[in-house]
Amino acid sequence: MSAVLLDIEGTVSDKRFVSETLFPFARKRIKAFVRDHARDGEVATALSLMRAKMGRANASVEEIGAELERWIDQDRKEEPLKSLQGLIWKEGYDSGELVSHIYVDVPPAIERWRAAGKRVAIFSSGSIGAQKLLFSHTALGDLTPSLSAYFDLSSGPKFEAASYAKIAKALDHPPTDIHFYSDVPREVEAALGAGMMATLVERDEPTAAPASIRRIQDFTGE
């Protein structure tokens, strides 16, 4: 194994931090945020993507804001939503309102992997910008110096083996030299389908998954 690829939600961070802190923080602010920043570069790009996905070229900013709220409620994995959430979370992290949760066993595991000469990368449905914010503002300190690469949905859906093959190519490692960790069985199966090693992380309770899949409860022994 020459590289480790980590999921975030439910794997290295408590999924409740995302569902009960990050998502509500963005939902409460997203309408006003797109209205106030509609002409800004990243926001304007996201609004254009939203209109295309909605199939309504003339959708107003207010209508897009309402659709974004619905998407948050539905936990949609869409690039324009993830991009806008990341921008809103940046404001929260910068102000100190947001501090990321990371399981205490994660930083020592990352350092063990790095000491053994392994690269550590992230693959999450959240935007790369949001990933960097999360890892740079944790209650356990800034973890970004220990992470070498970040991948989001621009690499493809997390349930498709092709996405993991694309990541392996970007990391310049054969898939067989990469170990992926996630709390979602379908993601683990997709990584296995691409030829990676993969392990299911069961933080809270056993997960319905094929018995052949390797499982751990935390990273203490990894």
Residue that finishes a domain, picked among 95, 111, 134: 95
Q: What is the model's pLDDT at position 209?
A: 87
Whether the predicted model's global pTM rises above the 0.85 cut? yes
CATH number of the domain at 126, please: 3.40.50.1000
Residue 44 amino acid letter? A
77 and 106 assigned to the same domain: no
Task: Give the pLDDT band of residue 205 (cuts 50, 70, 90).
Answer: confident
Task: Give the pLDDT band of residue 46 (cuts 50, 70, 90).
Answer: very high
Whether 147 maps to a domain, the answer reads yes
23 and 120 assigned to the same domain: no
Phi, psi of 16 (to 5 degrees): -70, -25
Torsion of CA 183, 189, 190, 192, to 10 degrees: 110
Tell me the residue range of the domain where 77 lies: 17-95
The owner of tokens 């408590």 is 14
Q: Which residues of 172-193 are buried (b: 16+ CB within 10 A; e: fewer)?
A: ebebebbbbbbbbbebbbbbbb
90 and 167 assigned to the same domain: no
CA distance 46 to 37: 11
Q: How many domains, the chain? A: 2
Whether 106 maps to a domain, the answer reads yes
Q: Which tens digits make up the pLDDT trace of 59-104?
A: 999 999 999 999 999 988 888 998 899 899 999 999 999 999 999 9
CA distance 173 to 165: 10
119 and 10 assigned to the same domain: yes
What beta strand segments (E) does the chain contain? 3-6, 119-123, 149-151, 178-182, 197-201, 214-216
The mean pLDDT of the chain is 95
69 and 88 assigned to the same domain: yes
78 and 117 assigned to the same domain: no
Q: What is the model's pLDDT at position 207?
A: 85
Q: What percent of the chain has pLDDT over 90?
A: 88
132 and 211 assigned to the same domain: yes
Q: Provide the H-helix boundaries in 55-103.
A: 61-74, 79-95
- How many Cα atoms within 13 Å fall on the side-chain side of residue 185? 8
Residue that finishes a domain, picked among 56, 75, 95: 95
Q: Are 103 and 218 in contact (CB under 8 A)?
A: yes
40 and 110 assigned to the same domain: no
